[in-house]
Amino acid sequence: MSLFITDECINCDVCEPECPNNAISQGEEIYEINPSLCTECVGHFDTPQCVEVCPVDCIPKDPDYEETHEQLLGKYNFLMATGK
């Protein structure tokens, strides 16, 4: 499952540099997570790093992008192989 950033985001800038897949970017109003790049840090870390550093706890799992651990690992492998 990909993660997403809710409108409770305060634009503190701490999540973006923590993402190993560069899935987080500044949107029009708040930071956004690209679900095609988000692996919940599977392959990199044991826990999603953006969630670990978020001071307002505004990064839940996105129910619109349900993925198993195996699917997230497959996405990680694809991203690493293609250099994205």
Residue 3 in any domain: the answer is: no
33's enclosing H/E stretch is: strand 31-33
Residue 70 burial class via C-beta count within 10 angstroms: exposed 0-12, middle 13-18, buried 19 and up: exposed
The answer, yes or no, to whether residue 84 has pLDDT greater than 70, is no
Domain that holds residue 74: 16-82
Give per-residue pLDDT as tens, 25-73: 999 999 999 999 999 999 999 999 999 999 999 999 999 999 999 999 9
The CATH number that applies at residue 31 is: 3.30.70.20
Torsion angle, alpha carbons of 63, 64, 68, 70, to 10? -140
Alpha-carbon dihedral sign for residues 68, 2, 52, 19 = positive
Give per-residue pLDDT as tens, 1-25: 799 999 999 999 999 999 999 999 9
Domain count within the chain? 1
Residue 22 in any domain: the answer is: yes
Residue 45 in any domain: the answer is: yes
Q: Which pLDDT belongs to residue 1?
A: 75
> Per-residue confidence at 83, pLDDT binned at 50, 70, 90?
confident
* Structure tokens, 56: 């307002």
- CB-side neighbour CA atoms (13 Å) of 42: 20
